[in-house]
Structure 1
Amino acid sequence: MSNTPPISRFPVPEIGSLPEDLRQRILEVQDKAGFVPNVFLALAHRPAEMRAFLAYHDALLLKEGGGSTNQEASGQGLTKGEREMIIVATSGANRCLYCVVAHGAILRVYEKRPLIADQIAVNHRKADITPRQRAMLDFAMKVCLHADEIEEADYAALRAHGFTDEDAWDIGAIAAFFGLSNRMANLIGLRPNDEFYLMGRVPRQK
């Protein structure tokens, strides 16, 4: 009998039993990553909700613009790495183990910096990031923790670093969406895959 805790406190369906669209999505992720992130297996407990979750996830994180981690700072949206910074910072504030570990791994891979995710998860103001990124995360954390206090000065602080109001929407929407994700992960006791812990920390085996 295995001593490994379950990945969710709710039933986890077999991949082969899933509707074809979800099964194909999971297999595509498996082919790319080399394993199936536990979030896909756990959310498949409710296929209709999983589809809605993935649709909004993809709209926020896979949209065109902000695709390169080497973009200039002004007027070009959020990079993939910056989107992950928002997720890691706000997930840390929401004490979501799964999202900090999983998206911390993705952040390290995108940024090619093995220390960055730990810094941002604990205290983004002490992290080795640019003033622009700090302003971005200040805004994201206010959405995460004090959304009722958002005011025009918060938008002005972003504009001072070259962000547009549409960028502010993206920052806030990512923080808000992962507020949902964090709470669902904690609700179901979602366990991070062991593979995530070392991703982006050590060189890949050739």
Structure 2
Amino acid sequence: MSRYPAPDINDLPDDIKARVLEVQEKAGFVPNVFLALARRPAEWRAFFAYHDALMTPETVGRTSGLTKGEREMIVTATSAANQCLYCVVAHGAILRIYEKKPLVADQVAVNHRKADISPRQRAMLDFAMKVCQQSHAIEDADIDALHAHGFTDEDAWDIAAITAFFGLSNRMASFSGMMPNPEFYLMGRQPKPR
């Protein structure tokens, strides 16, 4: 799974163990990131608190102008730019499910400008990629380009914060040798039987 052995789920602090079991119940497996980061409980708690605030803002009483799928697009595109296998595969799977498009994650990861996404989403990813690769060069014109597609200043903050947070996540996953769970590769590629 990684260069650092994951702790046994039964040895985790109660709050972390409960969250891991909740995720396992919902997904049918435990994503490797949950156990890999649990080796340092205080960091795990901080990581997932910020993750949840960004990726599920409704859980902290905040609204966002970004859909769940758009948040996953940002993660997938910028994680590809950062060459993070774990995050591209894992968040690409979630993106396919949210958008109900089996090809979108691969397209966004390789070249979002040619992906089957809306002009609004393309502008969002253009901004995210600039934050990812040249945050020092962000100008008012970059924010204005988002405004032209209906994004607010708060949406721009969300795009930048998701990009920056997953830059940290990408680097930790890559450095530690974290590998994607095999289950992620097939998720959202075939429609679910009805």
Q: Which residue of 2 aligns with 1:107?
A: 95
* In structure 1, C-alpha distance between the alignment counterparts of 2:6 and 2:126, rounded to whole Å: 37
Map 1:119-198 to 2 at 5 A.
119-198=107-186
Q: Deviations over 1:19-45 (max 9, x none)?
A: 000000000000000000000010011
CA RMSD of aligned residues (A): 1.2
Secondary structure in 1 aligned to 2:57? coil
Shift of 1:204: 3.5
Shift of 1:205: 5.8
> Residue 205 and residue 30 in structure 1: after superposition, are their counterparts in 2 closer, same or farther (change >3 A)?
farther
Shift of 1:11: 1.9
Greater than 6 Å deviation, 4+ residue runs: none
Q: Of 52, 62, 65, which residue of structure 2 is paired with 1:58? A: 52
Q: Deviations over 1:3-28 (max 9, x none)?
A: xxxx1101210000000000000000
Please tell me the residue identity of whatever aligns with 2:145. Answer: A
* In structure 1, C-alpha distance between the alignment counterparts of 2:12 and 2:193, rounded to whole Å: 33
* In structure 2, C-alpha distance between the alignment counterparts of 1:63 and 1:146, rounded to whole Å: 26
Q: Give the length in aligned residue pairs.
A: 190
Q: Which residue of 2 aligns with 1:33?
A: 27
Q: Which residue of 2 aligns with 1:49?
A: 43
* In structure 2, C-alpha distance between the alignment counterparts of 1:191 and 1:55, rounded to whole Å: 22
Q: By percentage of residues, which structure has more helix?
A: 2
> TM-score of the superposition, structure 2-length normalised?
0.96
* In structure 1, C-alpha distance between the alignment counterparts of 2:138 and 2:192, rounded to whole Å: 42
Please tell me the residue identity of whatever aligns with 2:39. Answer: H
Q: Of 68, 71, 74, which residue of structure 2 is paired with 1:83? A: 71
Unpaired stretches in structure 2, ≥5 consecutive residues: none
